[in-house]
């Protein structure tokens, strides 16, 4: 099969590495208008064919039914290339966040539907990790009873993309290129994980807030209008009832570093660290009126990294195998939740996402 990368930056290299783990021969093509970035990529992956722009790459040969295009550009350049890739007759896997706006994401989905190709999101990096599978196993067992409340919190004091993380990519700080800050950067993973764990039928963002901290490391020579800390009160409807969720996310905060998910039910509670698959998952239940805590045994760890997973999941879906890919309307619905946080924060009104199946 052939893998086409639009953008040859930091994340494109991880997709090129993931291609080696698909279990079949992959021909690599890559396009980037920045000659320095493109040459750097081709030096690292000399087997790839390089192009100065995506159109030249997509029109250089006729499509094959199993071609995959990965859109690995900054968010403001997701929609155009993704729509062109779909119209070229190739499956499209788009980096997160899917787009700048919900309208753009719907247009991308419509283009893929019309062209009869798959459209997927790279928001699935953390799906399939042992701790998430352990949580799913406990949920399926019913041992928690009726679900009451979920705390889903990940706050890192100094991890802002474009400042402490990947400082060369200043575009992360400018909402005209990134669409937003930590919610656009990490929210796609949060909602993709929550969709996988909880299988929602409807998500209501009841209230939300956004904030930006000030530090001595803040650049003064670029636009920096993105939030570094955010939170929301959610109501997640599932087949068996409505779960109240406290969601918080920060990559820049003066508050304490804190990462914890805690799911309370009528008969038990589960506690884990959302993005740390090495940390244990704890199950607490009642035994003879006392609290009993045990560590849930996770399934075996695979050799896939988080960076391999989006392409591996999507490739499996393309081949018609069971997969943890987020494709079609489900991918867009996750993204609607991400944008819904901004809408609820701006308007003070709830935002509702009906999840399509």
> Would you tell me which residues interact with ligand NAD (CB under 6 A)?
6-12, 31-34, 37, 54, 72-75, 77, 81, 95-96, 166, 169
Q: Pick the closer one to ligand NAD by CB: 251 or 323.
A: 251
Contact 96, 188 (CB under 8 A): yes
Close Cβ partners of 86 (under 8 Å, ≥ 6 residues apart): 92, 108, 111, 112, 114, 115, 117, 119
Q: Pick the closer one to ligand NAD by CB: 5 or 144.
A: 5
Q: Pick the closer one to ligand NAD by CB: 5 or 261.
A: 5
Min dist. Cβ of residue 264 to ligand NAD (A)? 31
* DSSP class per residue in 311-342: HHHHHHHHTT-----EETHHHHHHHHHHHHHH
Min dist. Cβ of residue 140 to ligand NAD (A)? 29
Q: Pick the closer one to ligand NAD by CB: 54 or 115.
A: 54
Give the DSSP H/E element, type plus range, for residue 155.
Answer: strand 147-155
- Find the Cα–Cα–Cα–Cα dihedral 132, 312, 317, 322, rounded to 10°: -50
Q: Pick the closer one to ligand NAD by CB: 5 or 355.
A: 5
Cα 72 from Cα 121, distance rounded (Å): 11
Strand duo 268-272 + 258-265: pairing: antiparallel
Is the Cα torsion angle 341, 151, 279, 21 positive or negative in sign?
negative
Min dist. Cβ of residue 81 to ligand NAD (A)? 5
Min dist. Cβ of residue 242 to ligand NAD (A)? 31
Q: Pick the closer one to ligand NAD by CB: 210 or 355.
A: 210
Q: Is 52 helix (H, G, I), strand (E, B) or coil?
A: coil
Q: Pick the closer one to ligand NAD by CB: 86 or 144.
A: 86
Q: Pick the closer one to ligand NAD by CB: 132 or 236.
A: 132
Q: What angle do CA 35, 38, 44 make, to 5 degrees?
A: 140
Would you state the structure tokens that stand for residue 309, as one six-digit string? 């997973």
Min dist. Cβ of residue 112 to ligand NAD (A)? 18
Min dist. Cβ of residue 108 to ligand NAD (A)? 13
Contact 28, 37 (CB under 8 A): no
Find the residue with minimal CB distance to ligand NAD: 9
Is the Cα torsion angle 96, 99, 101, 104 positive or negative in sign?
negative
Min dist. Cβ of residue 139 to ligand NAD (A)? 27
Cα 243 from Cα 206, distance rounded (Å): 12
Min dist. Cβ of residue 30 to ligand NAD (A)? 9
């Amino acid at each position: 099969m052939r893998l086409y990368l639009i953008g040859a930056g930091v994340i494109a290299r991880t997709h090129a590495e993931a291609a080696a783990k698909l279990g079949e021969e992959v021909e690599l093509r890559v396009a980037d208008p920045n000659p320095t970035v493109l040459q750097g990529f081709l030096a690292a992956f000399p087997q790839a064919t390089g192009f100065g722009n995506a159109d030249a790459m997509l029109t250089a040969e006729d499509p094959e039914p199993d071609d995959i295009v990965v859109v690995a550009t900054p968010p403001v350049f997701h929609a155009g290339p993704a729509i062109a890739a779909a119209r070229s007759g190739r499956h499209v896997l788009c980096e997160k966040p899917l787009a700048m706006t919900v309208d753009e994401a719907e247009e991308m989905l419509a283009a893929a539907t019309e062209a009869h190709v798959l459209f997927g999101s790279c928001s699935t990096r953390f799906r399939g990790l042992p701790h998430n599978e352990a949580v799913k196993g406990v949920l399926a067992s019913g041992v928690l009873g009726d679900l009451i409340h979920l705390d889903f919190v990940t706050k890192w004091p100094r991890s802002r993309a474009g400042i402490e993380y990947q400082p060369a990519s200043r575009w992360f700080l400018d909402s005209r290129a990134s669409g937003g800050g930590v919610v656009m950067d990490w929210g796609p993973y949060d909602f993709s994980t929550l969709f996988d764990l909880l299988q929602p039928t409807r998500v209501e963002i009841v209230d939300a807030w956004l904030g930006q901290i000030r530090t001595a490391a803040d650049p003064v020579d670029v636009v920096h209008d993105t939030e570094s800390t955010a939170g929301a009160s959610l109501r997640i409807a599932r087949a068996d009832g409505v779960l109240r969720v406290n969601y918080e996310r920060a990559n820049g905060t003066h508050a304490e570093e804190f990462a914890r998910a805690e799911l309370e039910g009528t008969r038990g509670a589960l506690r884990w660290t959302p993005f740390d698959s090495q940390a244990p998952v704890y199950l607490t239940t009642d035994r003879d009126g006392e609290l009993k805590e045990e560590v849930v045994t996770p399934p075996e760890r695979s050799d896939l990294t988080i960076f391999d997973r989006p392409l591996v999941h999507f490739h499996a879906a393309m081949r018609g195998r069971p997969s943890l890919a987020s494709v079609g309307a489900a991918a867009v619905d996750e993204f609607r939740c991400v944008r819904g946080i901004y809408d609820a924060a701006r308007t003070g009104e709830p935002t509702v996402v009906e999840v399509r199946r």
